[in-house]
Amino acid sequence: MLDTQLKNGAVILRVRAQPKASRDAIVGEHGGALKVAVTAPPDKGKANKAVVELLAKALGIPKSNIELVAGATSRDKTFAIRGVTREAVEALIEETE
């Protein structure tokens, strides 16, 4: 189960990123975080940008509603997502099962 929180009107989501994957996809859950695979390399923020694009597409919201708040250079990241409900974010994991 995903470990999400509500803070200042945003859903806080932990993400475990897997850069340089064979495809962009939401893979599943990893220790309470959403596991996401992206084809982009972890070079100059390319993987972070790809994760934001994937999340925005999956949630049907603009990329500007997603902010990386921690973990810019780590596989373990934290995002603040605005314009969606906590339930919508948690449903991302159900789509992979």
Instruction: Give me the number of domains the chain comprises.
Output: 1
β-pairing, 25-30 vs 10-18, is unpaired
**Please, which pLDDT band fits residue 96 given cuts at 50, 70 and 90?**
low
pLDDT surpasses 90 at 18: yes
Confidence class for position 2, pLDDT limits 50, 70, 90: confident
* pLDDT at res. 97: 56
pLDDT digits (tens, 9 = 90+) for 54-92: 999 999 999 999 999 999 999 999 999 999 999 999 888
Q: What is the mean pLDDT of the chain?
A: 94
CATH number at residue 42: 3.30.1200.10
The model carries a pTM of 0.93
Range of the domain at 64: 4-94
